Amino acid sequence: MSVDTSTRPRNLCWGIAAVGAVLFIIGVVIMNGGNCSAMIPALVAAANVILFGLLGAWRCSFARNQALEEQGVAEYRREHGNSELFSDADEAVRLATKANNQFVKYAVPTITVLLGIIECLFCLVTWRNWGRAEAFAQAANPMPLAILGVCCCIGVLIAGSFFVGASREPGCRWLRPSGAWLFFTGFLFLAAGIALFLEFFGKAVDTADITVARIAMVILFILAVELVFSFVIEFYRPRMPGEAERPLPESRILALFTEPGGVARNVAASLDYQFGFQVSEAWFYRFLERTVVPLLVIMAIALWLQTCVVVVSTEENGIKERFGEVVSKEPLPPGLYFKLPAPFERMQRFPVEHVQTIVIGGHEEDEHHEEEEEPEDDGHGHAQPKRDKKKEKEHEERVVLWSTAHSEEKEPAFIVAMRQVEQPRVANDGSGAPPLSIGLLSAHVPLYYKVKDMYANSYNHNDPGKTLKNIATREFLLYMASADFTDLLGNKRHEAGEELRKRIQKAAMDVNLGVEIVFVSLAGLHPPVSVGAAYDQVVASREAKAEEILKAEAYAAGSEPAVQGVKAELIHRAEAYKQEKVQVSQAEAQRFESQLMSYNASPRLFKLNSYLELISGSSSARKYIIATANSKEVLELNLEKKMNASLLDLNLGEEEKAE
């Protein structure tokens, strides 16, 4: 333990705490005036500078009191010699030494671990609040605040270099924790200043501040975790005899940037402790120590020079930029190109041949869809989109119904015109005005496009994808308001998609967006989920109605030939009846005329003939005619019927005579 009783270490600790307080006040001003979320981690780091500065001041005060006490004991022994009964009797009254030991043994670890836990919880709560925030406010005039942040960073670099350099003096080792956090605070002020500069120049206005804030918060969380576990790390750290005291809150991660040589010394001390001899004094270790740094520098330079070679893949075109300015608006075709190393020149590559997708309305697929997936290298310098085969399989096997939600987010509804299917009813107010005829449709409309004019697409618009989506959404709303509900869900869906594609293409050309609309799919149109079941019932009723109509038409088609046949039969019967009556009447008239002529010629004979015809035709009985006038003649008739006829009864001779 050093017996230096100087107040310089304590005063330096107070000084660095004062610097941290000034930075904290300036950080509050920048955060409130610029709505800068990136300044929140900087304020926590500045608070750590203040706390570790005060902790170092207390430790230096205890060490000074212990040194003064030991100096007094030494003077007392020098004056009185060993006259005391026990030479170590003064050990029991060394209150400053006990206080110093108790402070280092209990107070410092407790404060360090509690501070780490509090900062870890603060980081988690702040991150959660950022995730719930829908938007982040922007600074009205960010330029002065950005300049102030950069100036603070420059001042911190100067002050931090002084305090870290002073920490190498005897008794000033406790300046290192607050000095390292002071450098980290300056880095966060610089990051916040850069975010404000980006807001001022209109670059990444919506994302610059929160992105810097999230990165800084992650680093702060890692350092807070290190504070929590620093007690265990320090407990198991190998120590060498005569080694200088190492403050428990001193960050080994920040030491990589504030004191790079300290890391090498820690590694050498660990090797000496593990092997039991001075490994760091061996020739091989000295050789590595001399050659590793140049080798790393050469490797870093080689990696940096690799940025001079750029490969533009087959589906891409490139535009070269030199010091932020476009060298030529003419895109470079696929191939190998050489340029100045970064950041002097860079090659912007764009997928001009790759069909990209945005989604109008609905969910982002699931907008998975909405954003293009980050490409992954296939090992040959060609970027290929990542594909999740498991998700693709689940998507293919999933059955999407109108009556079930398609995603966790609520799908927006769009107003659609509807053709009147019934007579308009009179309004309740008696005005007679017809009711509004509109419908609602939920939409998930993928739009596929390709970039044709790369310069116009990428340099004339800050966010060409968002611009295209806004244009497509506007045209979609206008078209839906004039289209018919039934046609969009029916057989005119493809025609509607083609018409919408032409409208979006024309609107994109008007703003010089430099894209070609390949296809607009309206397959994702459906009624809102809340009325999906009712709409299915209406559709089912219409289908049942159509079914009954088709059955009636089929019955009519089958019954008509039978009806035509019965009709033809009745007509033919009537014609036959008509012909019969006409012909019979004509025949009877002709017969009557013939009979009249016969009667006029011989009335007696006509009557006799008629009489005989009547008798002969009246029945099938045998009839005998007596042709004599002698009434006294007796006739004998044999009315017996012969059963068997003989040849004598045939009267063959008489027949021959008759012939």
Task: Give the tens place of pLDDT for each residue, 418-452.
Answer: 765 444 444 445 555 555 577 777 777 888 888 88
pLDDT of residue 287: 60
| Sign of the dihedral through C-alpha 60, 63, 65, 68 | negative
Residue pair 306/299 in contact (Cβ under 8 Å)? The answer is no
H-assigned helices in 427-482:
454-459, 464-482
Residue 109 lies in a domain: yes
* Residue 358, beta-bridge partner list: 447
Give the residue numbers spanning the domain of 537.
Answer: 532-615
DSSP reduced 3-state for 383: strand
Q: Quick one: 115 and 247 in the same domain?
A: yes
Residue pair 234/113 in contact (Cβ under 8 Å)? The answer is no
* Residue 445, beta-bridge partner list: 360
Q: Quick one: 540 and 511 in the same domain?
A: no
Residue pair 43/31 in contact (Cβ under 8 Å)? The answer is yes
**Tens of pLDDT, residues 370-381:** 344 444 444 434
What are phi and psi for residue 519, nearest 5 degrees? Answer: -160, 145
Instruction: Report strand pairing: 445-451 vs 356-360.
Output: antiparallel
Q: Quick one: 128 and 218 in the same domain?
A: yes
Q: Quick one: 449 and 590 in the same domain?
A: no
Q: Quick one: 214 and 158 in the same domain?
A: yes
Please count the helices (runs of H) and the strands (runs of E) in the chain. Answer: 18, 12
**What is the rounded average pLDDT of the residues 329-351?**
81
**What is the rounded average pLDDT of the residues 113-140?**
85
Question: Which among 249-263, 290-304, 440-454 has the top mean pLDDT?
Answer: 440-454
Q: Quick one: 160 and 258 in the same domain?
A: yes
35 or 269: which leads in pLDDT: 35
Return mean pLDDT, the chain: 76
The CA distance from 284 to 294, in Å, is 16
| Domain boundary pick from 242, 276, 310 | 276
Question: In terms of Cα–Cα distance, which of 208, 187, 315, 204 is closest to 257?
Answer: 187
pLDDT band at 145 (very low <50, low <70, confident <90, very high): confident
| Domain boundary pick from 584, 599, 615 | 615
User: Is a pLDDT exceeding 80 seen at residue 355?
Assistant: yes
Residue pair 174/249 in contact (Cβ under 8 Å)? The answer is no
**Tens of pLDDT, residues 570-610:** 999 999 999 988 988 888 888 888 888 888 888 888 888 88
Residue 3 lies in a domain: no
Residue 620 lies in a domain: no
Instruction: Residue 456: give its domain's CATH number.
Output: 3.30.479.30
pLDDT of residue 466: 87
The CA distance from 474 to 511, in Å, is 14
pLDDT band at 85 (very low <50, low <70, confident <90, very high): very low
167 or 432: which leads in pLDDT: 167
**What is the rounded average pLDDT of the residues 286-300?**
69
Amino acid found at 175: L
* Residue 351, beta-bridge partner list: none
Please tell me the total count of domains within the chain: 4
Residue 638 lies in a domain: no
Q: Quick one: 310 and 446 in the same domain?
A: no
Amino acid found at 569: E
* Residue 433: CB atoms within 10 Å: 10
How much of the chain exceeds pLDDT 90, in percent? 7
Residue pair 55/108 in contact (Cβ under 8 Å)? The answer is yes
pLDDT of residue 372: 43
Q: What is the 3-state secondary structure (H, E, C) of 343-374?
A: CCEEEEEECCCCCEEEEECCCCCCCCCCCCCC
DSSP reduced 3-state for 457: helix
Residue 4, CA distances (Å) to 69, 73, 100, 242 in order: 11, 15, 15, 17
Q: Quick one: 251 and 141 in the same domain?
A: yes
**What is the rounded average pLDDT of the residues 72-89?**
61
User: Is a pLDDT exceeding 80 seen at residue 257?
Assistant: no
pLDDT band at 385 (very low <50, low <70, confident <90, very high): very low
User: What's CA 472's distance to the chain center, in Å?
Assistant: 17
Residue 398 lies in a domain: no
Residue 583 lies in a domain: yes
Q: Quick one: 247 and 327 in the same domain?
A: no
User: Is a pLDDT exceeding 60 seen at residue 457?
Assistant: yes
Output the six-digit token pair for 482. Answer: 């004039």
Residue pair 516/509 in contact (Cβ under 8 Å)? The answer is no
Residue 578 lies in a domain: yes
What is the pTM for the complete model shown? Answer: 0.47
DSSP 156-177: HHHHHHHHHHHTTSTT-TTHHH
pLDDT band at 283 (very low <50, low <70, confident <90, very high): low
Cα torsion through 143, 144, 148, 154, rounded to 10: 50
| Domain boundary pick from 499, 527, 555 | 527
Q: What is the 3-state secondary structure (H, E, C) of 616-643?
A: HHHCCCCCCCCCCCCCCCCCCCCCCCCC
Burial readout 170-207 (b: 16 or more C-beta within 10 A, e: otherwise): ebbbbbbbbbbbbbbbbbbbbbbbbbbbbbbeeeeeee
Q: Quick one: 263 and 315 in the same domain?
A: no
Output the six-digit token pair for 540. Answer: 């089912």
End-to-end C-alpha distance for the chain, whole angstroms: 183
Question: In terms of Cα–Cα distance, which of 7, 116, 100 is closest to 52?
Answer: 116
The CA distance from 137 to 37, in Å, is 9
The CA distance from 2 to 174, in Å, is 14
The CA distance from 96 to 65, in Å, is 6
Q: Quick one: 544 and 585 in the same domain?
A: yes
Which residues have CB under 8 Å from 126's CB, separation 6+?
40, 217
Which residues have CB under 8 Å from 86's CB, separation 6+?
none
Place of tokens 């609905």: 362
User: Is a pLDDT exceeding 90 seen at residue 121?
Assistant: yes
Output the six-digit token pair for 359. Answer: 């989604």
pLDDT of residue 346: 81
Residue pair 272/280 in contact (Cβ under 8 Å)? The answer is yes
Q: Quick one: 236 and 257 in the same domain?
A: yes
The CA distance from 52 to 47, in Å, is 9
**What is the rounded average pLDDT of the residues 19-37?**
89
Amino acid found at 399: V
Residue 626 lies in a domain: no
Q: Is the peptide bond before 343 cis (omega within 30 degrees of 0)?
A: yes
**What is the rounded average pLDDT of the residues 111-118?**
89
Q: Is 158 left (phi over 0), alpha (psi -120 to 50) or beta?
A: alpha
